Structures are given as structure tokens and as C-alpha cells.
């Protein structure tokens, strides 16, 4: 076939398969329904450790390509996250293109649930930005392959408190690594985004008498936190240039990039947001060059997936908390490995995650 007859669609398809190949994705499913307005994508990255599991994100992406990028990056990070957390689920993620405030409906969520169901348990959906436990209850009307439903429906409910707890422990481990003591008292911490995760993180920090700065694009959210806690609210322009010990991104990803990194004045970045580095290797290196310790997001924000993954067994909040507490030791181990092997913390964390995937992958051959 000549290049001319291959056509636009052919080259796009080739791009997608090539991208899946590069990022080692097992499967990508596009879900579309005209009646409900559903436009969604499910990314299954790796199922070596168990069924792929990850949050469903509903977000008004500018276009399909942006949504695809997000789902590919997020699902891959879930593989690393679950492997490093020592739990038995694989990496997956789903996105629905749309504004959760305007476009979400019962029919749309249930139609999405039917697509999840059609995968027969290869992917379990949990909550992410724009999706609440109540939405998962709705999705569950169409499929059993959902985790993180409301406690009243037998689920583990909101996973943000445990996510925030893990981030807080990761911060303490980072300070221990930097200073030889793990107290956050008096440390200056900038929390970007004080939604479900960020607000809980603020509470841990205030309890330990850290000096906390906050910013949220939703002014009311920021103001209500300011009323509740002794925090200082800053403006958007200050978030990434404030002179602080720790920057804690807890909103969306990609905020560490070629524009922001040269202006950062923090000593370390430890936060809950997924995929904080815009271009992983480049931006991790740039942070290293600037002497800023980057603690990989997928390592410290694993509390949420730990929580929901336990629904596949028997859920107990104490067990979830205990597994999440391992984040402290894992962070120390990764930072020590990074120093010893002269590699970035990102590479050290990925190495440990890949080691477990290889080892468990081998023993699963005997099942």
C-alpha cells in the first residue's frame, strides 16, 4: 500500500499501537455512547500482579489526544505504584472526557460501567478526580468490577484520608533522609490543591506544627480551610516560587516542567498528585541538577490504591492503614538506594517496582 492510500486513520492507529508498545500497555479500550454522551478511555497497563486497578477520572480535556496521554501515563504509574506498595493488583486507569459538574449523569456512569463489565474483571474502576464514591455506587449497578464504593454498600469509601496519610509519612521519611530527624515541626510546606487529599494532608501537617501555605483554584475551598486551620493562603503566582522546605503538589499532574523547575525555591517535592513530572526523565534530572529532592508521587500516594485493593479480599481499615505505613520505610529505602547507586529517586523507585514485577511474574508461570 502506498503512503497516500494508508490515509490519516491508518497513521493514527499506528501511532497508538506504537505508543502502547513503547509504554508496554496491554490494552487500551475506547468507550463511546451517543445517547449518554460518553467518551471514555480505559488503559490496562500491566496485569502481572493481578487485575488492573485504578481511578476513573472525569475531566474536561481539551481533546481526545490529551485524554489518551493522561490515561496512558496514569495507568503506567499505577503499575509502579501497586508493585512498590506490595499489593496484588495491576496497573490501570480510566478517563471520561467531560465536566463532572455539568456532564455527569446516572445513565453516563452506568453506560461506562457496562464497558468495564465487558472486560470481565481485567480492570477494576476506583475513584479519581471528578468521581466520588457515590458515583462508583452508580457504576456498580452495572458491574461488580468496581472498588471504593460507599461503606454503606460494603465498600471502603473515600480513599483520600489514607492517601494523605501516606504522603505525610513520605514527607517525614524525606526529612529524615535530608536532616537525620523526621520531625515536621516548623518546616515550611506549600500545599498546592486542598481538595480531598490536600486538605487531609494539611491536617496532619498542622497537627505536627508545620508552617503550612495553601493554594487552591477554588477560592471557597481555600478560604474554608483557612478558617479551619492555622494556614496561610497564597496566590497562584507564589505557589511554585515560595521559599519552603517542601512543595506538596496535591492538584493535577505535570506541574514540574522546564518552565517551573528553574524557579522552584523548595528543598524537596513530596505530594499526592499523580504524574507531577511533565516529562519524566528530563524533569527528574533537572530537579536533581538543582539539588531538589524529588520523592516519586507513585510511591507516597499509594494509600488510596492500598485501601481500595483490599476490597478484593476482606476489607479492614486497620489492615489498609498498616500497609500504608510501609510507605515510610519504602521511601527511606528508595532514597538510600538512589544515593548509593547515584541514580534519581525516580529510577530507584522504578527499579524496585520492576524487580517485584519480574520476580512475581516468574512465579506466576507455575499457576
Active site residues: 93
- 102: Cβ contacts below 8 Å, ≥ 6 apart: none
Indicate which single residue of 31, 56, 109, 129 sits in contact with ligand NAI (rule: CB under 6 A): 129
Name the minimum Å distance from CB 38 to ligand NAI. 21
- The gap between the terminal CA atoms of the chain, to the nearest Å, is 44
Closer to ligand NAI by Cβ: residue 322 or 364: 322
The site string for ligand NAI over 202-231 (x = CB under 6 A, - otherwise) reads -------------xxxx--x----------
Number of residues that bind ligand NAI (CB under 6 A): 26
Indicate which single residue of 95, 108, 190, 197 sits in contact with ligand NAI (rule: CB under 6 A): 197
Closest by CA position to 246, among listed 223, 222, 271, 228:
271
- Please state the separation of Cα 163 from the chain's center in Å: 9
- Please state the separation of Cα 193 from the chain's center in Å: 14
Name the minimum Å distance from CB 192 to ligand NAI. 5
Is residue 40 near ligand NAI by the rule CB under 6 A? Answer: no
Give the separation between CA 182 and CA 171, rounded to whole angstroms. 8
Q: DSSP letter string over 280-345? A: HHHHHHHHHHTTPEE--HHHHTTHHHHHHHGGGS---HHHHHHHHHHHHHHHHHHHHHHHHTT--H
Phi (first) and psi of residue 317, to 5 degrees: -60, -35
Indicate which single residue of 111, 196, 204, 350 sits in contact with ligand NAI (rule: CB under 6 A): 196
Is residue 160 near ligand NAI by the rule CB under 6 A? Answer: yes
Using CA atoms of 66, 287, 234, 173 in order, give the dihedral in degrees to the nearest 10. Answer: 110
Give the separation between CA 227 and CA 229, rounded to whole angstroms. 6
Instruction: Kindly identify the residues of this chain, within the stretch 290-329, that bind ligand NAI according to CB under 6 A.
Output: 301, 304
Q: Which stretch binds ligand NAI (CB under 6 A): 63-71, 191-199, 225-233, 261-269?
A: 191-199
Name the minimum Å distance from CB 198 to ligand NAI. 6
Name the minimum Å distance from CB 341 to ligand NAI. 27
Residues in touch with ligand NAI (CB under 6 A): 128-129, 159-160, 163, 192-198, 215-218, 221, 250-253, 272-274, 301, 304
Amino acid at each position: 500500500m502506498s503512503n497516500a492510500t494508508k490515509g490519516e486513520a491508518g497513521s493514527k492507529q499506528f501511532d497508538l499501537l506504537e505508543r502502547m508498545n513503547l509504554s508496554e500497555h496491554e490494552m487500551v479500550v475506547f468507550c463511546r455512547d451517543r445517547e449518554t454522551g460518553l467518551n471514555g478511555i480505559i488503559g490496562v497497563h500491566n496485569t502481572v500482579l493481578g487485575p488492573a486497578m485504578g481511578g476513573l477520572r472525569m475531566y474536561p480535556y481539551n481533546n481526545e489526544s490529551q485524554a489518551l496521554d493522561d490515561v496512558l501515563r496514569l495507568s503506567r504509574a499505577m503499575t509502579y505504584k501497586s508493585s512498590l506498595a506490595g499489593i496484588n493488583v495491576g496497573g490501570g486507569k480510566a478517563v471520561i472526557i467531560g465536566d463532572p459538574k455539568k456532564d455527569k449523569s446516572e445513565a453516563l456512569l452506568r453506560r461506562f460501567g457496562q464497558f468495564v463489565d465487558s472486560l470481565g474483571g481485567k480492570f477494576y474502576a476506583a475513584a479519581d478526580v471528578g468521581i466520588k464514591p457515590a458515583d462508583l455506587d452508580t457504576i456498580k449497578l452495572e458491574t461488580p468490577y468496581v472498588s471504593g464504593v460507599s461503606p454503606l454498600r460494603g465498600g471502603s469509601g473515600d480513599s483520600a484520608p489514607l492517601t494523605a496519610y501516606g504522603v505525610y509519612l513520605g514527607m517525614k521519611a524525606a526529612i529524615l533522609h535530608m536532616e537525620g530527624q523526621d520531625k515536621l515541626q516548623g518546616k515550611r510546606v506549600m500545599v498546592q490543591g486542598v481538595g480531598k487529599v490536600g486538605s487531609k494532608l494539611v491536617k496532619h501537617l498542622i497537627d505536627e506544627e508545620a508552617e503550612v501555605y495553601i493554594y487552591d483554584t477554588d477560592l471557597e475551598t481555600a478560604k474554608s480551610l483557612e478558617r479551619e486551620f492555622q494556614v496561610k493562603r497564597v496566590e497562584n503566582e507564589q505557589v511554585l516560587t515560595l521559599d519552603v522546605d517542601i512543595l506538596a503538589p496535591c492538584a493535577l499532574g505535570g506541574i514540574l516542567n522546564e518552565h517551573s523547575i528553574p524557579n522552584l525555591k523548595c528543598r524537596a517535592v513530596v505530594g499526592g498528585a499523580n504524574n507531577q513530572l511533565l516529562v519524566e526523565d528530563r524533569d527528574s534530572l533537572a530537579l536533581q541538577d538543582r539539588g531538589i529532592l524529588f520523592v516519586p508521587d507513585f510511591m507516597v500516594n499509594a494509600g488510596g490504591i492500598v485501601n481500595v485493593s483490599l476490597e478484593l479480599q476482606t476489607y479492614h481499615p486497620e489492615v489498609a492503614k498498616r500497609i500504608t505505613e510501609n510507605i515510610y520505610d519504602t521511601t527511606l529505602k528508595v532514597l538510600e538506594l538512589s544515593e548509593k547507586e547515584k541514580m534519581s529517586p525516580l529510577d530507584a523507585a522504578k527499579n524496585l517496582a520492576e524487580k517485584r514485577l519480574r520476580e512475581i511474574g516468574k512465579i506466576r508461570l507455575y499457576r
